[in-house]
Amino acid sequence: MRQSLESLSEDDREWLARIHAESENRSDLPDRVDQAIRVNQNFLYDLDRLIPAITRFPREDPEPAGAIAARVRLLPWAVAREWGSDFNSERELTYQPIYWKLKELLPAGAKVLVPGAGCCRLAYEIAARGFEVTAIEFDALKLLAAAQMFALGLESLQTEIRPYALETCNRMSASDNTRPIYVPDALMTDNALSRLTINGNEFVETARTMGSGEFDAVVTSFFMDTTTTSDLYMNKIIGLLKPGGWWINCGPFNYHYPSEKTVPLPPAQEPNVEEFMLNVTRHGFTVAERMEIDSTYMGNPSSMMQTKYRCLFFAAQFGQ
């Protein structure tokens, strides 16, 4: 970015400098981006200090450095999606129907599993509503971020991140990509946290070690499209549910897998909604509610580009 600016003619540079001098924000774009990157770096350094709090890094297939770098770069954005007020409406669209359904279907204290929990906001909110929650997430970076959010939230503190630092496309104004976001946007309680257990392993492997029929509900949010073999996920969900237990799902079928995995992936099934729902009933579920919810995912609200997913929401009861 700096090089591109320096390659401009003297005239053009003067003109740009004049525009910046006339706008509220007088520093130039590369400097502001540098500063935003430093804010993100500080956030990541703080997470680094939490590493001893995580018992083990779960991924057994080592990732190439490029894949890790991409996950680190996206982490502030993922944290903002779950813990920033910028993403409040995005979260409410798909999380609220899950809370309502759980409240309607299950008594307080019921056991809920949330696989693919990300930075654990949904899992925390379910625990805050009185349920006993187990979250499963294999991305240690997201779990570090979750641990940091809990530590800050308990103290009513916030930290600053600049998730859009490198997004120079689709800005409405000069400072859109460097604006700060403060996280977490929620106060937390020890009481709610005491009802949340976090498991930092892969879902299918973890399910093998859990007792069968342990949960009253399994909640999958933007998760069913993270596997090449959704049948395998479905079978594990069935194994973990009590008879009469509920599967609540919300998310699109935007199939995506770790692209740079060092172990080969099994061939992808990638069912469409019709096939998927037939499979749900074939596996012994009765679908009590089904609807579509349009929502962005990690959509920067101030961007000129918005991608909406048509999410499949359903609540289905097993074995009734």
Ligand X SMILES: C[S@@+](CC[C@H](N)C(=O)[O-])C[C@H]1O[C@@H](n2cnc3c(N)ncnc32)[C@H](O)[C@@H]1O
Residues forming contacts to ligand X in the complex (CB under 6 A) are 82, 115-118, 122, 136-139, 142, 202-203, 221-223, 226
Minimum CB–partner distance for residue 222 and ligand X (Å): 4
Nearer to ligand X, 222 or 313 (CB): 222
Q: Residues near 130 by Cβ (< 8 Å), separated by ≥ 6? A: 108, 109, 195
| Cβ proximity to ligand X, 232 vs 277, nearer residue | 232
Going along the chain, which residue ranges are E strands? 111-115, 132-136, 159-161, 181-183, 196-199, 215-221, 241-251, 285-295, 309-318
CB of 102 to ligand X, least distance (A): 15
SS3 call for 206: helix
CB of 10 to ligand X, least distance (A): 47
Which of 222, 318 has the CB closer to ligand X? 222
Residue number with CB closer to ligand X (222 or 247): 222
CB of 118 to ligand X, least distance (A): 3
Q: How far is the CB of 7 from ligand X (least distance, A)?
A: 38
Neighbours of 154 (CB within 10 A): 15
Residue 287 CB, nearest approach to ligand X (Å): 21
Query: Whose Cβ is closer to ligand X: residue 36's or residue 119's?
Result: 119
Angle, vertex CA 238, rays to CA 232 and CA 241, nearest 5: 140
Alpha helices in 84-133 (DSSP H): 88-105, 121-128
> CB neighbours of 13 closer than 8 A, spacing ≥ 6?
5
φ, ψ of residue 138 to 5 degrees: the values are -95, 0
- Pick the closer one to ligand X by CB: 228 or 302: 228
* DSSP conformational letter for 62: P
Q: What is the spatial distance between Cα 234 and Cα 279, in angstroms, rounded to a whole number? A: 9
Contact between 258 and 70 under an 8 Å Cβ cutoff? The reply is no
